[in-house]
Amino acid sequence: MPSISEKGKAMPASPIRKLVPYSEEAKRKGRKVYHLNIGQPDIPTPEVALNAIKNLDQKVIEYSHSAGNESYRRKLAGYYQKIGINIDHTEILITTGGSEAILFALNTCVNPGEEVIIPEPFYANYNGFATSAGVKIVPVTSYIQDDFALPPMSEIEKKITPKTKGIIICNPNNPTGYLYSREELLHLRDIVKKHDLFLFSDEAYREFCYDGAEHFSAMKLDGIENNVILLDSVSKRYSECGVRIGALITKNKLVLSTALKFAQARLSPPGLGQIAGEASIDTPPEYFRNVNREYTARRNYMVAALNKIPGVYCPKPKGAFYTVVRLPVDDSDKFAQWLLEEFEYKNQTVMVAPASGFYSTPGYGKNEVRIAYVLKIDDLKNAMETLAEALKVYPGRK
């Protein structure tokens, strides 16, 4: 039998989804599984988006422009202008989810064998995108005892080599929920400018900021306009993970024209998804106010409940809907599997994402898990109670 490629062998499995077979088996046993492992919001998709699909009167769903429908790009530019990001529709490339935006950005800006610096823990699929593009990830570690604040600039600069082409940030952060401050971004700007690097800014969770905190976009950084590439998505903002619509946005015309060649090779982004995305821009402000109130309540309950469990430490996230939690366990991968394979409390269990998959440094995150607070508070209460009981009897408790 022919062998598969070296790239295929190197491609990492998703730490978020690799436990799915154990979850399915637990469900076959009749157990209720609380999914804290994946960022799938249960918030309803805006009615304006659903109605746009329901009332579609097109006779043919055609290819769109490879950069996306012009009507959508113009309307999307208006959305950004309202939040102080001064761009026009010619600076936007619509992609198949934020995932494709990241992949296009790496393929456009970084040669195989070159490096990008990423604060860890980071969104696990950055590993997959980098592997696919032949790019090496160089981690700079942030720590739970600092609530995962951006590492000192000196630590970031230590990682810069002649092969470094850029820095990737996710703000607000998946998996930690950390919201980078304006001051932190200004420090990053200085490094990017000094070393002439790209700054890839994943801002898919922009609307999810709590306690009155405000999001500061990398697109607002003066002096590095041609270095910044904004990566965005409708998935979380409008609870539309399945429509697979994202965007790559930059003022760098060469980056955009090069990325468009990759976009042309895949023909066009999803047609129905663009219709939903365009309609979603008319989502009323009250929708976001309600979502923010709901997630704030979920976060407050969950953080308090976790920190009451002996041996557990949970920072208070400032954004997104995730947190990385330190547990009194020997190995979070083993613990997550044990929860699904062997444990039940009142015929229920929980599914978490082992944090080791969000670190690039071997051995890190072994006693941490990522938890997504995407369940209603009643479900979160049951999940937290179940997790507390599990930690009492886990054989590998430390």
The full DSSP string for 45-76 is PPHHHHHHHHT---SS-----TT--HHHHHHH
Q: How confident is the model at residue 275, as a pLDDT?
A: 98
SS3 354: strand
Burial 253-266 (b: 16+ CB within 10 A, else e): eebbeebbebbeee
Q: How confident is the model at residue 169, as a pLDDT?
A: 98
Q: How confident is the model at residue 148, as a pLDDT?
A: 96
Q: How confident is the model at residue 18, as a pLDDT?
A: 79
- Global pTM reads 0.95
Mean pLDDT along residues 160-172 = 98
Residue 342 token pair: 């062997």
Q: How confident is the model at residue 40, as a pLDDT?
A: 87
Q: How confident is the model at residue 291, as a pLDDT?
A: 96
Q: CA 71, 45, 277: angle at the middle one, nearest 5?
A: 15
CA–CA distance, 38 with 351 (Å, rounded to integer): 9
User: In the beta sheet, which residues pair with residue 170?
Assistant: 202
Q: In this model, does residue 17 exceed pLDDT 80?
A: no
Fold topology of 47-280: Aspartate Aminotransferase; domain 2 (3.40.640)
Mean pLDDT along residues 116-122 = 97
Mean pLDDT along residues 182-206 = 97
Which residue from 133, 127, 99 is spatially nearest to 114, judged by alpha carbons? 133
Q: What is the band of 39 on the pLDDT scale with cuts at 50, 70, 90?
A: confident
- Per-residue pLDDT tens digits for 336-368: 999 999 999 999 999 999 999 999 999 999 999
Q: Classify residue 321 by its DSSP letter.
A: T
Q: How confident is the model at residue 14, as a pLDDT?
A: 80
Q: Among residues of the chain, what percentage have pLDDT more than 70?
A: 99
CB-CB neighbours of 316 under 10 Å: 15
Considering the four listed CATH numbers 3.90.1150.10, 3.30.110.70, 3.40.50.10490, 1.10.10.10, the one that applies to the domain covering 6-44+286-393 is: 3.90.1150.10
**Range from 5-9, 174-178, 267-271 carrying the lowest mean pLDDT:** 5-9
147 φ, ψ (degrees, to nearest 5): 60, 25
Parse the chain into domains and list their residue ranges.
6-44+286-393, 47-280
Q: How confident is the model at residue 303, as a pLDDT?
A: 97
Amino acid at 106: L
CA–CA distance, 40 with 235 (Å, rounded to integer): 9
Q: How confident is the model at residue 41, as a pLDDT?
A: 87
- Per-residue pLDDT tens digits for 138-151: 999 999 999 999 99
- Per-residue pLDDT tens digits for 255-266: 999 999 999 999
| Separation in Å, CA 1 to CA 4, 5, 282 | 9, 13, 54
Q: In this model, does residue 90 exceed pLDDT 80?
A: yes
Residue 376 contacts residue 361 (beta carbons within 8 Å): no
Which residue from 135, 146, 168, 120 is spatially nearest to 358, judged by alpha carbons? 120
| Separation in Å, CA 283 to CA 176, 242, 286 | 27, 18, 8
Mean pLDDT along residues 108-136 = 96
